[in-house]
């Protein structure tokens, strides 16, 4: 079974080679690597070209005229060029454990359309990991609870409150599923939540508690580039309304999407309460400051 590994790349020269190596060293060997460059600087692109020549399973693509199109269009280009039934996205600054693909393959079945695994943080530049500790263990606990019966489960209700798949690098999904969703996110920084919320409406999920993904936490990542509090709240409210409209447009009128109609203070309060339970009030306040500072 061929697995297509898509690596979107934008000026991540210092990390890309390690990401590619973590795929090439997988115990599961039936994969292709599709690197999609999103308009990197010329010297970075030339380096990516060199990396792509290292193995015949690696292909390199870029947008027309090597334009910068953003993560959504970059991933879509990779999906369009892929040949596998299953898609994995490995962000260029992340890594996989050597048995990541093997463990994922072991846990899929005919019923499963999405596979999610736990992850381990790699702390860079002396940044705090308080945000990670208040978020990732909490959502992974929810997924682990639903996996307790050892059968595929749904997360469509959870996705209405927050994104419970923290990073693209921890997810594998069927290509057919990816081709049915709208990738044009209303807020650039929440591409993953917008896509997962749509995918999860009908898909069944399998969860692996092994920490198969190593997630770099550093100040240059898209995840760290958050706006001030006022802008954040405006974008958050706008995003939730746009997501509701997208799901409703596709025939979702049931109770699963009702939380998106609630005032933003409700889901934010819920997240704050759960985070405080997870890491305590001091660490929670530190994580809020870390996420919202300029």
In a domain, 179, yes or no: no
SS (H, E, C) 50-62: HHHCCCCCEEEEE
Asked if residue 176 belongs to a domain, the reply is no
81 domain-assigned:
yes
Tell me how far apart the alpha carbons of residues 105 and 26 are, in angstroms, rounded to a whole number: 12
The whole-number mean pLDDT for each consecutive block of 10 residues of the chain, a chain of 294 residues, reads 96 94 98 97 95 96 95 97 98 97 96 97 74 89 91 95 97 96 94 97 95 86 62 94 94 83 95 86 78 58
> Both 4 and 36 in a single domain?
yes
Shared-domain flag, residues 222 and 80: no
Q: What is the pLDDT of residue 294?
A: 47
Model pLDDT, residue 260: 96
Q: Would you say residue 198 lies in a domain? A: yes
DSSP codes, 88-117 = EE--TT-EE-TTHHHHHHHT--SSEEEEEE
pLDDT score, position 125: 67
DSSP character for 115? E
Q: Is residue 172 part of a domain?
A: no
Q: What is the CATH number of the domain that holds 34?
A: 3.90.550.10
**What's the pLDDT at 293?**
60
Closest CA to 188 of 38, 60, 44, 290: 38
* Residue-number span of the structural domain to which 114 is assigned: 107-166+187-294
Q: Based on the structure, what is the number of domains in the chain? A: 2
Interval 236-292: pLDDT, tens: 999 999 999 999 998 877 778 999 999 999 999 999 898 888 888 888 887 777 666
**Is residue 178 in a domain?**
no
In a domain, 173, yes or no: no
Are 282 and 233 contained in the same domain?
Answer: yes
User: Each residue of 208-242: pLDDT tens digit?
Assistant: 999 999 999 876 655 555 557 788 999 999 999 99
Residue 89 is assigned to a structural domain of this protein: yes
Give the separation between CA 6 and CA 81, rounded to whole angstroms.
10
Examine the domain organization and report whether 233 and 268 are in the same domain: yes
- Please tell me whether residues 137 and 51 are part of one structural domain: no
């Amino acid at each position: 079974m061929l697995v297509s590994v898509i690596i979107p790349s934008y000026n991540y020269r210092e990390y890309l080679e390690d990401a590619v190596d973590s795929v090439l060293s997988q115990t599961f060997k039936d994969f292709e690597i599709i690197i999609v460059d999103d308009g990197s600087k010329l010297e970075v692109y030339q380096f990516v070209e060199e990396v792509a020549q290292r193995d015949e399973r690696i292909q390199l693509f870029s947008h027309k005229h090597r334009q910068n199109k953003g993560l959504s269009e970059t991933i879509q280009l990779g999906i369009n060029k892929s040949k596998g039934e299953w898609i994995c996205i490995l962000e260029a600054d992340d890594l996989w454990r050597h048995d990541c693909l093997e463990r994922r393959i072991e846990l899929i079945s005919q019923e499963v359309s999405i596979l999610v695994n736990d992850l381990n943080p790699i702390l860079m530049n002396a940044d705090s990991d308080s945000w990670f500790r208040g978020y990732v263990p909490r959502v992974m606990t929810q997924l682990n609870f639903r996996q307790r019966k050892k059968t595929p489960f749904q997360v469509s209700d959870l996705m209405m409150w927050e994104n419970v798949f923290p990073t693209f690098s921890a997810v594998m999904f069927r290509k057919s599923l990816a081709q049915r969703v709208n990738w044009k996110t209303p807020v650039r920084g929440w591409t993953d939540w917008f896509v997962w919320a749509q995918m999860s409406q009908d898909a069944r999920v399998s969860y692996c508690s092994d920490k198969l993904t190593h997630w770099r936490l550093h100040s240059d990542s898209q995840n760290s580039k958050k706006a001030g509090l006022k802008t954040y709240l405006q974008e958050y409210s706008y995003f939730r309304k746009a997501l509701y409209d997208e799901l409703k447009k596709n025939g979702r009128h049931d109770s699963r999407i009702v939380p998106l109609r609630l005032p933003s203070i409700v889901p934010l309060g819920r997240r704050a309460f759960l985070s405080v339970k997870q890491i305590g009030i001091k660490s929670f306040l530190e994580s809020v400051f870390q996420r919202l500072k300029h």
